[in-house]
Structure 1
Amino acid sequence: MDRLADTVLFTSAETYAIGSCTLPNRLIFSYDTSRWDFRALVSEYLGTDELETLHLLPQFNPGGGTLPVPNYEATKNSWEISKKLKDALSVAAHALFGGLLYGPVQEMLYPIEGYQPSPAARVNFHGSKSILRFHVDSEYGQRAELVNLWLPVTAVAGSNSMYLESEVGRGDYAPLQMAYGQACIFRGGELMHGTMDNDSGSTRISFDIRFRFKQR
C-alpha cells in the first residue's frame, strides 16, 4: 500500500487481492468538496441544504418526524425519494465520480479501468426501517473484480449509517462514522454490509458506485 496518499484517514489491516492489485478490506479517505460537491448537487435538486433534518420537512416526509420509530411512512418515503434522486442526478453524479476515481482514487491506489454508468442514490430518513438488508453484493451478481465506493453527503454515525464487517464471515458489524467530504472504498462483493432501523435523529443521503482497476 505504498501508493496511499495523505488524504487516507483509515485503512484496514485486513487485505485482499484482485489480480495484481492488493487492497484493504476498507479504506476511508477525504476529498476536496469544492471540486466534487455531491452535496450541492443533492441540495439544489431538493431545494434545501437541510439534508440531515429532511425528515422534519413536510414536503419530503408528511409524518413530520412525529410518527413512532420506525414507521411505514418514513420507510416508503426513503425508497421513493431515493429513486427520484437516482433518476434525476444520475448523469451529473456519474461525471463527479469520474473525476474522483480518475483523480484522487487512482493516485492513492491503482489506475482505474472503468466504473458503473449509473450511481445509486440512497435516502434513509430518520424513522425509517432498515432500507437495505445485510448482504454481500456477489448475491446480486457483482463480479469479483469490482470494488465499492460509498459516499455520504450527510454526516453519518450509528443507525443512520452503513454497517460493515471487518473480514469475510466475521460478523463484527460496526457503523461507519464519517463526515461530508469523506468516502469509503470497501470489499462489497464479499464483506457483509447493510443498514439498521434509523432512530438516530438524522437523515442520511449517500451515493454508491462500483469500479474496477486495470490489471498488469
Structure 2
Amino acid sequence: MHPAVHDYDSTKFDFVSILSRIYDVDDLAKLRADVPIDVLTVETDQATDFHAKFYDAFEPSIRTLYREFIASIVPDVLKTDEFCFQRVPTFRIHLPGNVAVGEFHTDGDYNHGDGEINFWVPFTPAWGSNSVWIEDELGSAKYEPVTLNPGQALVFDAVNWSHGNVVNETGHTRVSFDFRCIPLKNYTASTLKSVDAGLGLWIGEYFDVL
C-alpha cells in the first residue's frame, strides 16, 4: 500500500482536547520535558513521563473514543468490516531537539508481519523535521517528511516501507499516536511479541476486534 492521507472529523474525534486535559496545556505543540533533552535518549522513547501519562489515562479517558474512531475510519480504508486492530495505540511525542523513535526502520524489523496496515495520526501540525519521514518509493532509502494536520491520518504499509524521524528543529512538539490493523482474511496469529511492550502479536493480546 502506497502511503495515503485520509481525513476524519476532528471535532467528533476530539483527541486533542482529551490530551490537552491530560497534560494540562492549551497547546500540545508547546509541551516540553521537565528534564534536560539529553536525558531523553532514544533507548527511552517509549518510557518518558509523557508516555506513562498517556497509557495510564487510556482505559478511563481514551479507549471508548479510540474504538469509535477505529469503527469510523478503518472499514473505509481497508474495504472490509472484518479486521483486527491494535488494542492500545502507540503514543509518540517528538520534542524539539530530540527524536521520537530511535532509528529508521521497517515494522518488519520489529516482528510485525505482512498484512498489517499502519495508521499514523498526529494531534499537532506535523511537517519537516518534527514529522515522520517515509521512503519516497518502496526500497529507495530516500526519505521525505509527511505534512499533516489534526483531522488527517496517514495510512501506509509500515511493515515494508522504511520510515523514521530526524532531530526536531521546528521548535514545535509533535504529538501523535499510531496503530496497526489487519484484514481478518490476511490475519495469521504470530508466535512473536512486540519489541517495546512485549505483547503477543495475536488477537486477545496486542490485537483486538470490535
Which string of whole-angstrom CA distances, capped at 9 and with x for unpartnered residues, describes residues 32-84 of structure 1? 112111111211100112211222xxxx4355xxxxxxx40455896513421
Q: What amino acid does structure 1 have at the position aligned with 2:72?
A: G
2:80 equivalent to 1:111: yes
Q: 1:52 is paired with a residue of what secondary structure?
A: helix
Q: What amino acid does structure 2 have at the position aligned with 1:184?
A: L
Indicate the percent of aligned positions where both proteins have the same amino acid: 26
Q: What amino acid does structure 2 have at the position aligned with 1:96?
A: L
What are the ranges of 5 or more consecutive residues in structure 1 without an aligned counterpart? 1-23, 64-70
Matches of 1:46 and 1:34, distance apart in 2: 19
Q: 1:215 is paired with a residue of what secondary structure?
A: helix
Q: TM-score, normalised on structure 1?
A: 0.75
Instruction: Tell me which residue corresponds to 2:58.
Output: 90
Whose Rg is larger?
A: 1
Instruction: Trace 1:119-138 onto structure 2 (pairs within 5 A).
Output: 119-129=89-99, 131-138=101-108
Q: Is the 8 A contact 2:90 2:177 kept in 1?
A: yes
Q: Cα RMSD (Å) of the superposition?
A: 2.3
Q: What amino acid does structure 1 have at the position aligned with 2:56?
A: A
2:38 equivalent to 1:72: yes
Compared CA separation, residues 115 and 212, structure 1 to 2 (3 A): same
Q: How many residues align?
A: 182
Instruction: Tell me which residue corresponds to 1:194.
Output: 164
Matches of 1:180 and 1:75, distance apart in 2: 27
Q: Is the 8 A contact 1:164 1:173 kept in 2?
A: yes
Q: 1:131 is paired with a residue of what secondary structure?
A: coil
Compared CA separation, residues 26 and 53, structure 1 to 2 (3 A): same
Q: 2:155 is paired with a residue of what secondary structure?
A: strand
Compared CA separation, residues 160 and 189, structure 1 to 2 (3 A): same
Q: TM-score, normalised on structure 2?
A: 0.77
Instruction: Tell me which residue corresponds to 2:174.
Output: 204
Instruction: Tell me which residue corresponds to 1:101.
Output: 70
